[in-house]
């Protein structure tokens, strides 16, 4: 009996010692293992701030989209198309002219029904109609258009105040900023796409006459004239173009900056046409190759190769060889930057030009003037003549040739015509200004039936006829 009790006590004591050892050594070690498995995995960023998962920082497009879709309209343009004459047309004596329907988008810019769109959306329109997001349709009146900027202004008469988009400042738009494109691609109404601003002051012409905002928001045929808005719902551009070999979106789209579009429609409303102010320079963008050819170190900015006589730049004291670096404290890296800024200004506006001369930066005010120059095909650039110009050559009227056409300068020099000659008549119309020349050449294609009378710098009168 005693042996049995001894065995039980020994077994119990062994159990206690075993359990105590487990609690003391084994269980503590397991706790350490568990804790280490809950540490941050080594493939995550070491920073304590993980912006990738911070949903409060994500852009919210809902409010901007809701406000914009109600102010973007569907524009329909009925024009007359001159199709190829078919056998049936000839047999039945029918005309080859047929109505053709074109569609695009537009943006309501005030409660009274003024709508901004692209010029190419309404070009050659015989009839215009506008459909709102609530499916109401109105006939639209064309108030005015500008082919150069591809902007047009329409007006509809609604029986109620209309929703509209307010203008933002496109100069303040930043590369990388989120934007929405709203329009009617492929006749699909009220379509919203998102992207970022990819570039600014983009020129598609190769002539530095354009200054588009480039985005990667999807834009397709039918989006033309629609809105490009920021996340606040402010209009910063009018969607205008895409570059594509297929005709559909491939990753890039382009919009007229709102500052340019706004200036154009305000001019149309106030003056009936666009008031273009000019700086009065000729030149080009700088890069490594151009700088090497010119023998200068700068690779950014606009190099002034020529100053237009009597222009704002001439009167302010800018000189050939100066490099424009800023305008109104906005950096100028290439000519399209300068084009974009000047396009948003009017005659008599004063701009602050920061330029480099002999390595030193200077800033001067320059008053933009009305463009008093015009390019005549085959001839070259002419400007309004001053009384002293006319008196010098004993001319009663005329415009002054300030730059001959590069492709035909040899012809003119052989015939005794040089820069400074006075053109007195164009197509048998006496001219006193460049406006007279534009009227005389209206509806003329290139140099079809171009007739000129002029007085050369020797005071000799001559007449030239061109036709083809």
Question: Residue 60's pLDDT band (boundaries 50, 70, 90)?
Answer: confident
Least confident of 60-64, 65-69, 93-97: 93-97
pLDDT > 70? residue 94: no
Instruction: Quick: pLDDT tens for 186-226.
Output: 888 889 999 999 999 999 888 878 899 999 999 999 999 99
Supply the pLDDT for residue 38: 34
**Does position 444 have pLDDT exceeding 70, yes or no?**
no
pLDDT tens figures, 140-173: 999 999 999 999 999 999 999 999 999 999 999 9
pLDDT, residue 309, reads 87
- How much is the pLDDT for 28? 45
Kindly give, in sequence order, each residue whose CB lies less than 8 Å from that of residue 329, ignoring residues fewer than 6 positions away: 352, 354
What tokens were used for 342?
């000047």
Least confident of 92-101, 278-287, 356-365: 92-101
Please state the pTM of the whole predicted model.
Answer: 0.77
pLDDT for 247 equals: 80
Question: Which pLDDT does position 433 carry in this prediction?
Answer: 93
Average pLDDT value over all residues in the chain: 85
Give the pLDDT score at 441.
85
Q: Span 395-403, mean pLDDT?
A: 95
Closest CA to 211 of 335, 106, 369, 333: 335
Does residue 285 contact residue 320 with C-beta atoms inside 8 Å? no
Do you know the residue count of the chain? 468
Q: pLDDT confidence of 466, banded at 50, 70, 90? A: confident
pLDDT over threshold 50, residue 35: no
Specify the pairing of strand 360-367 against strand 253-257.
unpaired
For 303-312, what is the mean pLDDT?
93
Question: Given a cut of 60, is residue 34 above it in pLDDT?
Answer: no
User: pLDDT exceeding 90 applies to what percent of the chain?
Assistant: 69
d(CA 158, CA 169): 28
- Model confidence at 36, pLDDT cuts 50, 70, 90, reads very low
> Tens of pLDDT along 251-279?
889 999 999 999 999 999 999 989 999 99
Q: Which of 38-42, 209-213, 385-389 has the lowest mean pLDDT?
A: 38-42
Q: How far apart are CA 220 and CA 235, in angstroms?
A: 19
Among 66-75, 99-108, 263-272, 333-342, the minimum mean pLDDT is found in: 99-108
CA distance 136 to 134: 6
- The per-residue pLDDT for 59 is 79
pLDDT band at 85 (very low <50, low <70, confident <90, very high): low
Residues 321-335: pLDDT tens digits?
Answer: 999 999 999 999 999
**Among the listed residues 338, 123, 310, 317, the one whose alpha carbon sits nearest the alpha carbon of residue 209:** 338
> CA-to-CA distance for 304 and 463, rounded, in angstroms?
35
Check pLDDT > 90 for residue 43.
no
Cα(346)–Cα(277) distance, integer angstroms: 5
* pLDDT given for residue 29 in this prediction: 43
pLDDT at 93 over 70: no
Q: Tell me what pLDDT residue 236 has.
A: 98
| Residues catalogued as catalytic | 120, 150, 224
Residue 442's pLDDT band, with cuts at 50, 70 and 90, is: confident
The secondary structure of the chain, three-state, reads CHHHHHHHHHHHHHHHHHHHHHHHHHHHHHHHHHHHHCCCCCCCCCCCCCHHHCHHHCCCCHHHHHHHHCCEEEEEEEEEEECCCCHHHHHHCCCCEEEEEEEEEEEECCCCCEEEECHHHHCCEEEEEEECCCCCEEECEEEEEECCCCEEEEECCCCCCCCCCCECCHHHCCCCCEEEEEECHHHCCCEEEEEEEEEEEECCCCCCCCCEEEECCCCCCCCCCCEEEECCCCEEEEEEEECCCCCCCCCCEEEEEHHHHHHHHHHHHHHCCCCCEECCEEEEECCHHHHHHHCCCCCCCEEEEEECCCCHHHHHCCCCCCEEEEECCEECCCHHHHHHHHHCCCCCCEEEEEEEECCEEEEEEEECEECCEEEECCCEEEEECCHHHHHHCCCCCCEEEEEECHHHHHHHHHCCCCCCCEEEEECCEECCCHHHHHHHCCCCCCCCCEEEEEECCCCCEEEEEECC
Cβ neighbour number for residue 236 with a 10 Å cutoff: 26
Pick from 384, 362, 357, 358: nearest CA to 371: 384
Higher pLDDT, 85 or 440: 440
Q: Tell me what pLDDT residue 42 has.
A: 38
Q: Which of 329, 121, 312 is nearest to 225 (CA)?
A: 121
Taking the C-alpha atoms of residue 168 and residue 180, their distance in angstroms, rounded to an integer, is: 13
Whether the CB-CB separation of 75 and 117 falls below 8 Å is answered with: yes
In the chain, what percentage of residues exceed pLDDT 70? Answer: 82
Q: What pLDDT was estimated at residue 418?
A: 95
């Amino acid at each position: 009996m005693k042996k049995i009790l001894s065995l039980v006590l020994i077994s119990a004591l062994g159990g206690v010692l075993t359990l105590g050892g487990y609690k003391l050594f084994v269980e503590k070690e397991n706790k350490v293992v568990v804790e280490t498995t809950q540490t941050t995995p080594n493939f995550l960023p070491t920073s304590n701030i993980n912006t990738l998962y911070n949903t409060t920082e994500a852009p919210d497009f809902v409010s901007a989209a809701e406000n914009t879709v109600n102010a973007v309209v569907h524009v329909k343009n009925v024009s007359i198309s001159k199709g190829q004459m078919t056998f049936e047309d000839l047999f039945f004596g029918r005309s080859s002219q047929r109505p053709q329907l074109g569609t695009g988008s537009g943006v309501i810019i005030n409660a009274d029904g003024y709508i901004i769109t692209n010029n190419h959306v309404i070009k050659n329109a015989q009839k215009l109609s506008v459909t709102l997001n609530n499916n109401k349709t109105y006939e639209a009146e064309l108030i005015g258009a500008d082919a150069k900027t591809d902007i047009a202004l329409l007006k509809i008469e609604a029986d109620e105040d209309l929703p509209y988009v307010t203008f933002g400042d496109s100069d303040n738009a930043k590369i990388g900023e989120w934007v929405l494109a709203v329009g009617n691609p492929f006749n699909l109404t009220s379509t919203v796409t998102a992207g970022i601003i990819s570039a600014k002051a983009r020129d598609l012409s190769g002539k530095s006459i354009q200054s588009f905002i480039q985005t990667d928001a999807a834009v397709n045929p039918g989006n033309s004239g629609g809105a490009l808005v920021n996340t606040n719902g402010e209009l910063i551009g009018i969607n205008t173009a895409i570059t594509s070999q297929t005709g559909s979106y491939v990753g890039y789209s382009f919009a007229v900056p709102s500052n340019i579009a706004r200036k154009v429609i305000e001019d149309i409303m106030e003056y009936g046409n666009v008031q273009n102010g000019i700086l009065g320079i000729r030149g080009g963008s700088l890069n490594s190759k151009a700088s090497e050819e010119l023998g200068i170190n700068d690779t950014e900015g606009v190099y002034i190769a020529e100053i237009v006589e009597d222009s704002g730049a001439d009167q302010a004291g800018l000189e050939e060889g100066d490099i424009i670096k800023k305008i109104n404290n906005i950096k100028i890296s290439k000519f399209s930057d300068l084009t974009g800024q000047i396009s948003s200004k009017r005659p008599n506006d004063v701009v602050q030009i920061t330029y480099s001369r002999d390595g030193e930066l200077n800033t001067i005010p320059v008053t933009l003037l009305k463009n008093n120059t015009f390019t005549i095909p085959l001839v070259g650039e002419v400007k309004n003549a001053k009384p002293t110009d006319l008196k010098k050559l004993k001319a009663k009227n005329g415009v002054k040739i300030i730059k001959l056409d590069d492709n035909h300068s040899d012809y003119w020099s052989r015939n005794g015509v040089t820069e400074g000659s006075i053109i007195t008549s164009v197509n048998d119309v006496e001219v006193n200004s460049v406006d007279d020349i534009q009227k005389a050449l209206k509806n003329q294609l290139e140099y079809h039936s171009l007739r000129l009378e002029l007085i050369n710098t020797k005071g000799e009168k001559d007449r030239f006829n061109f036709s083809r």
